[in-house]
Chain A
């Protein structure tokens, strides 16, 4: 392996990993607050991949405005799902399995509906950049990947600032360790949960747009969210930062293995290594244990 090859794969991997990082954070932020694996995240992602196609072909063809509209719509779709589907379960204080099964059901309904309606068609996003690649010396980089990476970095930075510096952000983080007590401080817990879904929806919207733009839009595009879930698990559930790091590491590893041994064997190797990693370090990269003293 020469240096250029490795650098090239790292570059590709970081862009790809950025998308996994967005997925991991979108998935993780809901897991933190409601403690269930939210597969409906993939449903929002799928819907947004189609919305992104529609907006960029029929409304605005510039990438940024089309992305912003898609992301915001993704946020609202997630809030709608929360209010219609998850809130009733929460109010009735059902076990976590209900959330989990419901979220899978939502994912299936969306997947099957889109398959039935538009499964036969091909939806290519419009060309959003004039020249597709740019080069640094020996390295060739896809411009769209660079753009995705920059947007991912900005979004994650913005989210970090929101979660650390605003009262609402602090309330979201507080509610992820105790969802009962914030109300005593005057926090509207229902609103905080809706807000969390809105954030997750925005992230699903961005991911859906990115995946739609770089892959083909299919009803099964939401399944790509699995990599994000894996990143969230490797990162240590409960740690959004860990999910981001794991997402990027996963992207790099995947790029290198794909380039070395081919795309068909890669998933097997990746899943096997995750298996081993979790045996060695079940709490993930940055998983911490908290104790509340009596």
Chain B
């Protein structure tokens, strides 16, 4: 469904990605794990069009996806950014409405809204509050809900567990699994490798702009190198 081929990204003179390749099949949860600065966010930002690659290909259903961010949203690929990026200056409801920016039909916007409210009843309750008044976990739910408003085919998540309490992280990951069961394809970038790998069909391990290991989520978890580097020594 989504394919990244030999992607190279540079910032100024510094190479952030040295030709990485990865694949995402329909209905899968795929994760990219690795330390801070490994190039995970750069990868996800390239797919959503926020960073322009120097060379390489990004293909969605065999058609190039290297274009403007809004056209990528139109094609059903939507990113939940690192740090949530909730708009504090507008209400929770307005944050969600903005998520449906590309949807012209009012009816469809209403339908998406109902659906998102059914996933996250708390967002309906907090509808009129400012986006900045929510707790960290609620903000993450809002960020995901906002992305779901445009009814994406592929959801890209950049560090959804960052800064959240373990219980909330658990909740978010359960939710991602539920969304996946409903047919949403998910690409997950995480420093919390153990958590990410436990729900992933397939995973890539990144280190300084390169993919150093890949495989099925549970197999990667048992890889001794990965275990030592990212999962801590012992279980």
Co-assembled chains A and B: yes
Within 8 A of A (CB), among B52-107: 68-70, 73-74, 78-79, 81, 83-90, 94-95, 97-102
Give the dominant DSSP class at B's interface.
Answer: loop
Shortest B87–chain A CB gap in Å is: 4
Asked whether A185 lies within 8 Å of B99 as measured between CB atoms, the reply is yes
**Is the CB of B212 closer than 8 A to any CB of chain A?**
no
Residue of B nearest to A290 (CB): B88
**0/1 interface trace, chain A 271-294, chain B, CB 8 Å (1 if under):** 000000000000000000011111
**Is the CB of A112 closer than 8 A to any CB of chain B?**
no
Shortest A33–chain B CB gap in Å is: 11
Asked whether A183 lies within 8 Å of B69 as measured between CB atoms, the reply is yes
Give every chain B residue within 8 A of A181 (Cβ-Cβ): 81, 85, 87
Quick one: which of B50, B95, B136 contacts A184, CB cutoff 8 A?
Answer: B50
Quick one: which of A187, A290, A291, A293 contacts B98, CB cutoff 8 A?
Answer: A187
Asked whether A178 lies within 8 Å of B101 as measured between CB atoms, the reply is no
**Is the CB of A171 closer than 8 A to any CB of chain B?**
yes
Asked whether A174 lies within 8 Å of B98 as measured between CB atoms, the reply is yes
**Is the CB of A173 closer than 8 A to any CB of chain B?**
yes
Residue of A nearest to B83 (CB): A294
Residue of B nearest to A182 (CB): B98
**Is the CB of A180 closer than 8 A to any CB of chain B?**
yes
Asked whether B88 lies within 8 Å of A292 as measured between CB atoms, the reply is yes
**Is the CB of B40 closer than 8 A to any CB of chain A?**
no
**Is the CB of B146 closer than 8 A to any CB of chain A?**
yes
Q: Known A167-B97, A167-B98; judge A293-B81 contact (CB<8 A).
A: no
Q: Known A174-B90, A293-B135, A294-B162; judge A167-B101 contact (CB<8 A).
A: yes
Residue of B nearest to A188 (CB): B70
Give every chain B residue within 8 A of A291 (Cβ-Cβ): 88, 132
**Is the CB of B42 closer than 8 A to any CB of chain A?**
no
**Is the CB of A137 closer than 8 A to any CB of chain B?**
no
Asked whether B85 lies within 8 Å of A290 as measured between CB atoms, the reply is no
**A167 vs B73: C-alpha distance in the bound complex, in angstroms?**
16
**Is the CB of B27 closer than 8 A to any CB of chain A?**
no
Asked whether A174 lies within 8 Å of B87 as measured between CB atoms, the reply is yes
**A238 vs B85: C-alpha distance in the bound complex, in angstroms?**
19
**Is the CB of A95 closer than 8 A to any CB of chain B?**
no
Asked whether B48 lies within 8 Å of A177 as measured between CB atoms, the reply is no
Asked whether B70 lies within 8 Å of A177 as measured between CB atoms, the reply is no
Asked whether A186 lies within 8 Å of B102 as measured between CB atoms, the reply is yes
Q: Count of B residues near A, CB < 8 Å?
A: 38
Asked whether B150 lies within 8 Å of A185 as measured between CB atoms, the reply is yes
Asked whether B163 lies within 8 Å of A294 as measured between CB atoms, the reply is yes
Shortest B162–chain A CB gap in Å is: 7
**Is the CB of B134 closer than 8 A to any CB of chain A?**
yes
**Is the CB of B127 closer than 8 A to any CB of chain A?**
no
Give every chain A residue within 8 A of B94 (Cβ-Cβ): 170, 173-174
Asked whether A292 lies within 8 Å of B150 as measured between CB atoms, the reply is no
**Is the CB of A176 closer than 8 A to any CB of chain B?**
yes
Quick one: which of B89, B95, B135 contacts A290, CB cutoff 8 A?
Answer: B89
Quick one: which of A177, A180, A183, A185 contacts B146, CB cutoff 8 A?
Answer: A185
**Is the CB of B200 closer than 8 A to any CB of chain A?**
no
Residue of A nearest to B70 (CB): A186
**A293 vs B139: C-alpha distance in the bound complex, in angstroms?**
8
Asked whether B162 lies within 8 Å of A186 as measured between CB atoms, the reply is no
Asked whether B79 lies within 8 Å of A184 as measured between CB atoms, the reply is yes
Q: Known A181-B81, A186-B73, A290-B132; judge A170-B88 contact (CB<8 A).
A: no
Within 8 A of B (CB), among A181-198: 181-188
**A167 vs B96: C-alpha distance in the bound complex, in angstroms?**
11
Give every chain B residue within 8 A of A174 (Cβ-Cβ): 87, 89-90, 94-95, 98
Quick one: which of A170, A176, A186 contacts B74, CB cutoff 8 A?
Answer: A186
Give every chain A residue within 8 A of B87 (Cβ-Cβ): 173-174, 177-178, 181
Between A and B, 19 residue pairs with Cβ closer than 8 Å are: A167-B97, A170-B94, A171-B101, A173-B90, A173-B94, A174-B89, A176-B89, A177-B87, A177-B88, A181-B85, A183-B70, A184-B79, A185-B102, A291-B88, A292-B88, A293-B84, A293-B132, A293-B163, A294-B163
The 10 closest A-B CB pairs, nearest first, are A186-B73, A290-B88, A181-B85, A177-B89, A186-B102, A294-B163, A174-B87, A183-B69, A186-B70, A290-B132
| Residue ranges of B at the interface with A (Cβ–Cβ < 8 Å) | 48-50, 68-70, 73-74, 78-79, 81, 83-90, 94-95, 97-102, 130, 132, 134-136, 139, 146-147, 150, 162-163
| Residue ranges of A at the interface with B (Cβ–Cβ < 8 Å) | 167, 170-171, 173-174, 176-178, 180-188, 238, 290-294
Given contact pairs A184-B79, A292-B86, A292-B139, enumerate 11 new A-B contacts (beta carbons under 8 Å). Answer: A171-B101, A173-B94, A174-B98, A180-B85, A181-B81, A183-B49, A184-B78, A185-B147, A188-B70, A292-B132, A294-B163
